[in-house]
Structures are given as structure tokens and as C-alpha cells.
Amino acid sequence: MLRGLAGTGLGVAALGGMGAAQAYQFGVTQHTCALPGLTRPLRVAFLTDLHFGLFIYGGSVRAWVDATNAARPDLIVLGGDQMDYRADEAPAALLSELKRLRATLGVYGVWGNHDYGSFGKYYSPHYGPRRPDWPERREALRAAYAEVGVTILRNEGRAVRDDLYLAGVDDLWEGEVDLGVALAGKPPAGGTLLISHNPDLLPDLPPGLGLVLSGHTHGGQIRLPLIGAPVVPSKYGQRYAMGWVTGAHDTPGYVSRGLGLSGVPLRNLCEPEIAVFNLIPG
């Protein structure tokens, strides 16, 4: 959620072609960490902030899907803000690409604040007057994702393997987060992976979580030498801008730089990423 970039006077024009070129490049970052409760290794691919529909189209998503499948993950997770799209149904071009994702344990996702804007306008500081049918639209979109093999977790969890519980919460800005409900099915043994689009949930975590994956910030999207990101959509400023962070009870978290674009079609010193986590027994 970086619309503020467009009016910050940061010399966006000076970034010019360099920032535009960086916007559509991406990398696959590899991370190895221990997850308490795992009994055997697990590879998780994390894609977040695709923002399909404004500056991002089918060709970009196709390249991301190809790179994800090439990593041969056991589990694929979408971190929210899949859409930046105003329509009465999910964009077919996005869904047709997501349908190609392949992982032995499945593909799961959560909603982000831009996904809520894509449900049709409703009352919020960001999207204006509420439509009375937005809950029904939200569920219709979730059904459309399910038809292409993507399970959206909205304050829900799944035992995706005998030693891993995957939980996903609603968007912190636009939804109704309920960690208790999301974790209600967590077994007493095994590892726990929590997906929250917005990393500002990190200070409010309960104990016992193994790893939290988030997006939302884009790493600031435009970063400057020595200064870092002048604009980070977080009430904690730079604290959760990107990379490895720590939440309540020393819970490790990773905030991805994401893949898409918001506010302006530029990135600087902030390459888009697919983050692949090689999780090992802790």
C-alpha cells in the first residue's frame, strides 16, 4: 500500500529508466531456518503482493509461476494483495496462471488490503463507501480461487502435513483478524507456520509459533542509499520493512519485498522476490 510514494517529492523522475527496469526484474531468494516441531525438511515458496491489474499483467505472473515451479516446493503460499483490480469477478488471466502452480502439499493464501479493495468499494480510509454485498463478493472470489487450486485462509488453519500446521489470518487493515480462531486447530505437536499479509501483527503474537511470513511493505519499494525506504506502510516505520525480523516471544518472521507494484511503477534498490524457505527440524 504505497500510494504515498506518488506525492513524496523523492525525485522519482530522476530514477527514470533505472527504477522502471528494476520494477519488472525479480529474484528467487533462498533461506534456511529451523522450525521447531518439524520431523523432516520442508521447502516452502512464498509469493506475495502480486498486485495484478494495475501495473502487473499476465506475462509477469507467468514468469513468477514458472520460477516457483522450478524451485520444486513442497508447499506454496500467497501472502495477500494478489489483486489490484476493480471488477465484479476475479481476473481470469490471474487465475489461469495461478492454476499452474504445483506443490505436493498444495497452494494456500491470505487476503491483503488491496484484495479487499478488489471486492468492490466499501467504507474504509482507502476505498470509500461500503457496498452492501461486499461479504458475498469476497466469498465468491474465494470460491474462484478454490476452483484453480488456491485455498484462501481467512482466520483458518490446516494440518498440511503430520508435522506442520499452516494458519492464515485476515488482513489487519481491512479485515477482521482472529488469531485464536486461526490457531484453534493447532495440534500439540509439530511445527506452526503463520501467514499474515501485514507484518504489524508481529508484536501481538501468542507464544508457540514457529515462523511468520508477511508482505505488504514491498520493502519500501523505493529505497535510497544511506537513507533506506522513506515510505514504509507500517506504524512501526523501518522496523518491519523487509527481511528477517522478530515478533513477540522472539518469534522469527520474514517480510518479503513482494513481487508487484503499488503507487508508482518503479522500484529502486529493492528487487522483487520469490522467497523460498528450506525449513529443517529445529
DSSP 161-212: ETTEEEEE---TTTS---HHHHTTT--SSSEEEEE-SSGGGGGGPPTT--EE
Residues 96-108: what's their mean pLDDT? Answer: 98
What is the per-residue pLDDT for 242? 96
- Distance CA(91)–CA(230), nearest Å, equals 32
Q: Which of 117-121, 137-141, 200-204 has the highest mean pLDDT?
A: 200-204
Report the 10 Å Cβ neighbour count for 160.
Answer: 21
List pLDDT tens digits, range 185-215. 999 999 999 999 999 999 999 999 999 999 9
What is the longest distance spanned by two Cα atoms in the chain? 54
Task: Please state which of the four CATH numbers 2.40.33.10, 2.130.10.10, 3.90.420.10, 3.60.21.10 is assigned to the domain occupying 29-281.
Answer: 3.60.21.10
Of all residues in the chain, what percent are helix, strand and coil, respectively (each to 5)? 25, 25, 50
45: CB partners within 8 A, 6+ apart: 68, 71, 73, 75, 76, 77, 103, 274, 275, 276, 277
Residue 5 has pLDDT above 50, yes or no: no
Segments making up each domain of the chain, as ranges: 29-281
Q: Percentage of the chain surpassing pLDDT 90?
A: 69
| Integer-rounded Cα radius of gyration of the chain | 18
* Residue 124 or 134, more confident: 134
Residue 19 has pLDDT above 60, yes or no: no
Question: Shortest CA distance to 261 belongs to which of 215, 198, 195?
Answer: 215
Distances in whole angstroms, Cα of residue 65 to Cα of each of 69, 96, 116:
6, 11, 23
Residue 254 has pLDDT above 60, yes or no: yes
What is the per-residue pLDDT for 14? 44
Averaged confidence pLDDT in the chain: 89
Per DSSP, the three-state class of 154 is coil
Residue 167 has pLDDT above 80, yes or no: yes
What is the per-residue pLDDT for 18? 56
